[in-house]
Structure 1
Protein backbone atom coordinates (compact mmCIF):
# COMPACT_ATOMS: atom_id res chain seq x y z
CA UNK A 1 0.00 0.00 0.00
CA UNK A 2 2.76 2.45 0.81
CA UNK A 3 4.17 2.53 -2.74
CA UNK A 4 0.63 2.95 -4.12
CA UNK A 5 -0.03 5.80 -1.65
CA UNK A 6 3.19 7.50 -2.76
CA UNK A 7 2.35 7.09 -6.46
CA UNK A 8 -1.19 8.48 -6.07
CA UNK A 9 0.02 11.37 -3.91
CA UNK A 10 2.72 12.27 -6.46
CA UNK A 11 0.08 12.31 -9.22
CA UNK A 12 -2.19 14.58 -7.16
CA UNK A 13 0.57 16.83 -5.80
CA UNK A 14 2.57 17.45 -8.99
CA UNK A 15 0.02 19.76 -10.74
CA UNK A 16 -0.66 21.65 -7.49
CA UNK A 17 3.05 22.18 -6.81
CA UNK A 18 3.88 23.11 -10.41
CA UNK A 19 0.96 25.59 -10.58
CA UNK A 20 2.68 27.46 -7.72
CA UNK A 21 6.07 27.40 -9.52
CA UNK A 22 7.46 24.95 -6.98
CA UNK A 23 9.25 21.63 -7.39
CA UNK A 24 7.98 18.32 -6.02
CA UNK A 25 11.13 16.79 -4.53
CA UNK A 26 9.87 13.65 -2.81
CA UNK A 27 6.87 11.89 -1.29
CA UNK A 28 7.05 9.27 1.43
CA UNK A 29 4.43 7.29 3.32
CA UNK A 30 5.89 5.88 6.52
CA UNK A 31 4.76 4.40 9.81
CA UNK A 32 6.37 5.83 12.92
CA UNK A 33 5.21 4.22 16.12
CA UNK A 34 1.48 3.66 15.68
CA UNK A 35 0.99 6.62 13.31
CA UNK A 36 1.21 6.88 9.51
CA UNK A 37 2.75 9.98 7.94
CA UNK A 38 2.31 11.13 4.35
CA UNK A 39 5.21 13.51 3.78
CA UNK A 40 5.48 15.74 0.74
CA UNK A 41 8.73 17.65 0.18
CA UNK A 42 8.68 20.76 -2.00
CA UNK A 43 11.36 23.24 -2.97
CA UNK A 44 12.27 26.19 -5.19
CA UNK A 45 15.35 28.25 -5.90
CA UNK A 46 16.17 30.04 -2.65
CA UNK A 47 13.99 27.70 -0.55
CA UNK A 48 10.28 27.51 0.22
CA UNK A 49 8.32 29.67 2.65
CA UNK A 50 6.01 28.30 5.33
CA UNK A 51 3.00 29.92 3.55
CA UNK A 52 3.82 27.90 0.41
CA UNK A 53 3.93 24.68 2.44
CA UNK A 54 0.57 25.62 3.97
CA UNK A 55 -1.00 26.36 0.59
CA UNK A 56 0.19 23.06 -0.93
CA UNK A 57 -1.01 21.20 2.18
CA UNK A 58 -4.45 22.82 1.98
CA UNK A 59 -4.92 22.10 -1.75
CA UNK A 60 -3.49 18.57 -1.56
CA UNK A 61 -5.53 17.74 1.53
CA UNK A 62 -8.74 18.75 -0.31
CA UNK A 63 -7.80 16.46 -3.26
CA UNK A 64 -6.93 13.56 -0.94
CA UNK A 65 -10.21 14.01 0.97
CA UNK A 66 -12.18 14.11 -2.28
CA UNK A 67 -10.63 10.92 -3.72
CA UNK A 68 -9.87 9.16 -0.41
CA UNK A 69 -7.17 6.89 -1.89
CA UNK A 70 -5.51 6.06 1.45
CA UNK A 71 -7.65 4.03 3.81
CA UNK A 72 -5.42 4.30 6.91
CA UNK A 73 -5.59 7.35 9.15
CA UNK A 74 -2.48 9.45 8.53
CA UNK A 75 -0.91 12.85 9.13
CA UNK A 76 -0.13 14.96 6.04
CA UNK A 77 3.09 16.97 6.30
CA UNK A 78 4.30 19.34 3.58
CA UNK A 79 7.78 20.78 4.06
CA UNK A 80 11.12 21.71 2.57
CA UNK A 81 13.53 18.81 2.08
CA UNK A 82 16.13 20.79 4.02
CA UNK A 83 19.82 21.33 3.38
CA UNK A 84 20.44 17.65 2.67
CA UNK A 85 17.67 17.21 0.12
CA UNK A 86 17.58 14.00 -1.89
CA UNK A 87 18.54 14.03 -5.56
CA UNK A 88 15.92 11.67 -6.98
CA UNK A 89 16.24 12.06 -10.74
CA UNK A 90 18.82 12.57 -13.47
CA UNK A 91 17.57 16.16 -13.79
CA UNK A 92 18.18 16.72 -10.04
CA UNK A 93 21.77 15.54 -10.43
CA UNK A 94 22.34 17.60 -13.60
CA UNK A 95 20.95 20.69 -11.82
CA UNK A 96 23.38 20.20 -8.93
CA UNK A 97 26.68 19.95 -10.80
CA UNK A 98 29.14 21.83 -8.58
CA UNK A 99 27.29 20.83 -5.39
CA UNK A 100 28.71 18.82 -2.51
CA UNK A 101 26.85 15.50 -2.26
CA UNK A 102 26.69 12.14 -0.54
CA UNK A 103 26.10 9.15 -2.81
CA UNK A 104 25.41 5.54 -1.89
CA UNK A 105 25.95 2.84 -4.48
CA UNK A 106 24.34 -0.55 -5.09
CA UNK A 107 27.79 -2.14 -5.34
CA UNK A 108 31.32 -1.21 -4.29
CA UNK A 109 33.64 0.87 -6.45
CA UNK A 110 37.25 1.09 -5.27
CA UNK A 111 36.24 -0.87 -2.15
CA UNK A 112 33.50 1.55 -1.00
CA UNK A 113 29.74 1.93 -1.44
CA UNK A 114 29.46 5.48 -0.07
CA UNK A 115 31.24 8.66 -1.18
CA UNK A 116 31.06 12.37 -0.39
CA UNK A 117 32.40 14.99 -2.73
CA UNK A 118 31.59 17.54 -5.41
CA UNK A 119 29.76 16.68 -8.61
CA UNK A 120 32.18 17.73 -11.37
CA UNK A 121 29.93 16.70 -14.25
CA UNK A 122 26.96 14.58 -15.25
CA UNK A 123 27.10 13.57 -18.90
CA UNK A 124 25.82 10.49 -20.76
CA UNK A 125 24.40 9.16 -17.46
CA UNK A 126 27.85 9.18 -15.84
CA UNK A 127 28.33 11.20 -12.65
CA UNK A 128 31.91 12.37 -12.09
CA UNK A 129 32.59 13.01 -8.41
CA UNK A 130 35.66 14.72 -6.99
CA UNK A 131 36.39 13.57 -3.45
CA UNK A 132 39.27 13.62 -0.99
CA UNK A 133 41.23 10.75 0.48
CA UNK A 134 43.15 12.42 3.32
CA UNK A 135 44.73 15.37 1.45
CA UNK A 136 44.65 13.93 -2.09
CA UNK A 137 41.84 14.77 -4.50
CA UNK A 138 40.50 11.85 -6.52
CA UNK A 139 37.86 11.52 -9.22
CA UNK A 140 35.29 8.77 -9.50
CA UNK A 141 33.04 8.06 -12.47
CA UNK A 142 29.75 6.44 -11.49
CA UNK A 143 27.09 5.19 -13.92
CA UNK A 144 23.68 6.60 -12.92
CA UNK A 145 22.14 3.10 -12.61
CA UNK A 146 24.71 2.19 -9.90
CA UNK A 147 23.52 5.02 -7.61
CA UNK A 148 21.20 3.75 -4.87
CA UNK A 149 20.74 7.15 -3.19
CA UNK A 150 22.09 10.63 -3.69
CA UNK A 151 21.55 13.73 -1.58
CA UNK A 152 23.04 17.14 -1.05
CA UNK A 153 25.48 17.14 1.86
CA UNK A 154 27.06 19.72 4.10
CA UNK A 155 30.86 19.89 3.86
CA UNK A 156 32.71 20.21 7.16
Structure 2
Protein backbone atom coordinates (compact mmCIF):
# COMPACT_ATOMS: atom_id res chain seq x y z
CA UNK A 1 0.00 0.00 0.00
CA UNK A 2 1.24 3.47 -0.88
CA UNK A 3 1.47 5.35 2.44
CA UNK A 4 1.25 8.84 0.91
CA UNK A 5 -1.79 7.86 -1.18
CA UNK A 6 -3.63 6.41 1.86
CA UNK A 7 -2.78 9.44 4.02
CA UNK A 8 -4.03 11.74 1.24
CA UNK A 9 -7.36 9.86 1.21
CA UNK A 10 -7.63 10.11 5.01
CA UNK A 11 -6.95 13.87 5.02
CA UNK A 12 -9.39 14.51 2.16
CA UNK A 13 -12.02 12.49 4.07
CA UNK A 14 -11.46 14.53 7.25
CA UNK A 15 -11.63 17.95 5.56
CA UNK A 16 -14.47 17.07 3.14
CA UNK A 17 -16.96 19.09 5.22
CA UNK A 18 -14.63 22.11 5.41
CA UNK A 19 -14.62 23.61 1.89
CA UNK A 20 -12.19 26.39 2.88
CA UNK A 21 -9.47 23.84 3.82
CA UNK A 22 -7.25 22.09 1.28
CA UNK A 23 -4.42 19.59 1.26
CA UNK A 24 -1.12 20.97 0.00
CA UNK A 25 1.22 18.01 0.39
CA UNK A 26 1.78 14.61 2.00
CA UNK A 27 5.39 13.46 2.27
CA UNK A 28 6.70 10.34 3.98
CA UNK A 29 10.43 10.75 4.58
CA UNK A 30 12.83 7.82 4.81
CA UNK A 31 13.62 8.79 8.44
CA UNK A 32 10.03 7.92 9.39
CA UNK A 33 8.72 11.49 9.42
CA UNK A 34 5.25 11.81 7.90
CA UNK A 35 4.53 15.45 7.04
CA UNK A 36 1.07 16.66 6.10
CA UNK A 37 0.68 20.27 4.95
CA UNK A 38 -2.88 21.61 5.01
CA UNK A 39 -3.95 25.18 4.37
CA UNK A 40 -7.14 27.18 4.28
CA UNK A 41 -8.40 30.05 2.20
CA UNK A 42 -8.40 32.00 5.46
CA UNK A 43 -5.54 30.07 7.06
CA UNK A 44 -5.86 27.04 9.32
CA UNK A 45 -5.90 26.87 13.09
CA UNK A 46 -4.01 24.51 15.37
CA UNK A 47 -7.31 22.86 16.40
CA UNK A 48 -7.98 21.78 12.80
CA UNK A 49 -4.43 20.41 12.50
CA UNK A 50 -4.97 18.40 15.70
CA UNK A 51 -8.25 16.93 14.40
CA UNK A 52 -6.59 15.91 11.13
CA UNK A 53 -3.62 14.45 13.01
CA UNK A 54 -5.87 12.38 15.29
CA UNK A 55 -7.99 11.14 12.37
CA UNK A 56 -4.97 10.14 10.26
CA UNK A 57 -3.06 8.67 13.22
CA UNK A 58 -6.04 6.60 14.36
CA UNK A 59 -6.63 5.11 10.90
CA UNK A 60 -2.95 4.45 10.23
CA UNK A 61 -2.79 2.50 13.51
CA UNK A 62 -6.09 0.67 12.87
CA UNK A 63 -5.07 -0.35 9.36
CA UNK A 64 -1.42 -0.93 10.30
CA UNK A 65 -0.37 1.06 7.23
CA UNK A 66 3.12 1.87 8.50
CA UNK A 67 4.97 -1.02 10.13
CA UNK A 68 7.88 1.01 11.50
CA UNK A 69 8.06 3.82 14.05
CA UNK A 70 7.03 7.12 12.52
CA UNK A 71 6.49 10.74 13.46
CA UNK A 72 3.27 12.42 12.30
CA UNK A 73 3.40 16.17 11.72
CA UNK A 74 0.37 18.15 10.54
CA UNK A 75 0.82 21.87 9.90
CA UNK A 76 0.21 24.68 7.48
CA UNK A 77 2.95 25.52 4.99
CA UNK A 78 5.46 27.94 6.53
CA UNK A 79 6.23 31.30 5.01
CA UNK A 80 9.38 29.85 3.48
CA UNK A 81 7.45 27.02 1.77
CA UNK A 82 7.11 27.65 -1.98
CA UNK A 83 3.60 27.98 -3.40
CA UNK A 84 2.57 24.92 -5.41
CA UNK A 85 -1.21 25.04 -5.86
CA UNK A 86 -3.39 27.51 -7.77
CA UNK A 87 -5.45 27.88 -4.61
CA UNK A 88 -2.33 29.08 -2.74
CA UNK A 89 -1.65 31.68 -5.43
CA UNK A 90 -5.26 32.88 -5.30
CA UNK A 91 -5.10 33.12 -1.51
CA UNK A 92 -2.03 35.38 -1.83
CA UNK A 93 -3.38 37.89 -4.37
CA UNK A 94 -2.28 41.36 -3.28
CA UNK A 95 0.94 40.11 -1.68
CA UNK A 96 4.53 40.56 -2.85
CA UNK A 97 6.06 37.45 -4.42
CA UNK A 98 9.57 36.40 -5.39
CA UNK A 99 9.71 34.11 -8.43
CA UNK A 100 12.38 32.01 -10.03
CA UNK A 101 11.85 31.16 -13.68
CA UNK A 102 12.99 28.23 -15.80
CA UNK A 103 15.29 30.68 -17.62
CA UNK A 104 17.08 31.25 -14.30
CA UNK A 105 15.86 34.81 -13.76
CA UNK A 106 14.49 36.14 -10.49
CA UNK A 107 11.50 38.43 -10.47
CA UNK A 108 9.56 40.20 -7.76
CA UNK A 109 6.19 41.82 -7.79
CA UNK A 110 2.74 42.14 -6.34
CA UNK A 111 0.45 39.26 -7.32
CA UNK A 112 -2.58 40.66 -9.15
CA UNK A 113 -4.18 37.52 -10.59
CA UNK A 114 -3.68 33.77 -10.96
CA UNK A 115 -5.29 30.99 -12.99
CA UNK A 116 -4.30 27.52 -14.19
CA UNK A 117 -2.16 28.91 -17.02
CA UNK A 118 -0.47 32.07 -15.77
CA UNK A 119 -0.06 34.58 -13.00
CA UNK A 120 -0.04 38.36 -13.34
CA UNK A 121 2.33 40.42 -11.25
CA UNK A 122 2.96 44.13 -10.97
CA UNK A 123 6.70 44.69 -11.01
CA UNK A 124 9.00 47.70 -10.96
CA UNK A 125 11.40 47.75 -13.88
CA UNK A 126 14.38 50.06 -13.45
CA UNK A 127 16.55 50.73 -16.46
CA UNK A 128 19.82 52.54 -16.02
CA UNK A 129 19.42 56.29 -16.19
CA UNK A 130 15.63 56.09 -16.34
CA UNK A 131 12.87 56.40 -13.78
CA UNK A 132 11.48 53.08 -12.52
CA UNK A 133 8.37 51.95 -14.34
CA UNK A 134 5.60 49.85 -12.87
CA UNK A 135 4.37 47.28 -15.37
CA UNK A 136 2.03 44.32 -15.32
CA UNK A 137 3.65 41.08 -16.41
CA UNK A 138 1.86 37.86 -17.26
CA UNK A 139 4.07 34.86 -16.49
CA UNK A 140 3.05 31.41 -17.75
CA UNK A 141 2.89 28.86 -14.92
CA UNK A 142 5.14 26.39 -16.77
CA UNK A 143 7.94 28.99 -16.75
CA UNK A 144 7.88 29.30 -12.95
CA UNK A 145 10.19 27.00 -11.00
CA UNK A 146 9.60 28.48 -7.53
CA UNK A 147 7.38 31.11 -5.93
CA UNK A 148 7.61 32.41 -2.40
CA UNK A 149 5.62 35.08 -0.58
CA UNK A 150 7.77 38.00 0.52
CA UNK A 151 7.11 39.24 4.02
CA UNK A 152 7.32 42.96 4.62
CA UNK A 153 8.24 44.27 8.06
CA UNK A 154 7.55 47.92 7.23
TM-score calculated relative to the size of structure 2: 0.74
Residue of structure 1 equivalent to 2:26: 27
Task: Give unpaired runs (5+ residues) of structure 2.
Answer: none
In structure 2, how many angstroms separate the alpha carbons of the residues matched to 1:67 and 1:102?
42
1:86-105 per-residue CA deviation (whole Å, 9 max, x = no partner) reads 43222332343322223333
The answer to whether the aligner puts 1:88 opposite 2:84 as a matched pair is: yes
SS at match of 1:26: strand
Task: Identify unmatched segments of 5+ residues in structure 1.
Answer: none
Shift of 1:124: 6.5
- The alignment's C-alpha RMSD in Å is 2.9
TM-score normalized with structure 1 length: 0.73
Partner of 2:44: 48
Q: How does 1:90-109 map to 2 (within 5 A)?
A: 90-105=86-101, 107-108=102-103
Name the SS of the counterpart of 1:40 in structure 2.
Answer: strand
Count residues with an aligned counterpart.
147
8 Å Cα contact 1:17/1:42 also seen in 2: no
Question: What is the SS of the residue equivalent to 2:72?
Answer: strand
Q: Separation in 1 of the partners of 2:138 and 2:18?
A: 36
What is the aligned partner in structure 2 of residue 8 from structure 1? 6
Check the 8 A contact 1:99/1:118 in 2, yes or no. Answer: yes
**Aligned counterpart for 2:112 among listed residues 117, 120, 124:** 120
Aligned counterpart, 2:69: 73
Q: 1: CA distance between counterparts of 2:33 and 2:56?
A: 14
Q: CA deviation at 1:71?
A: 4.0
- Conserved? CA contact 1:25–1:86, under 8 Å: no
Are 2:121 and 2:136, in contact at CA under 8 Å, matched by a contact in 1?
yes
Select which of 141, 147, 151 maps to 1:150: 147
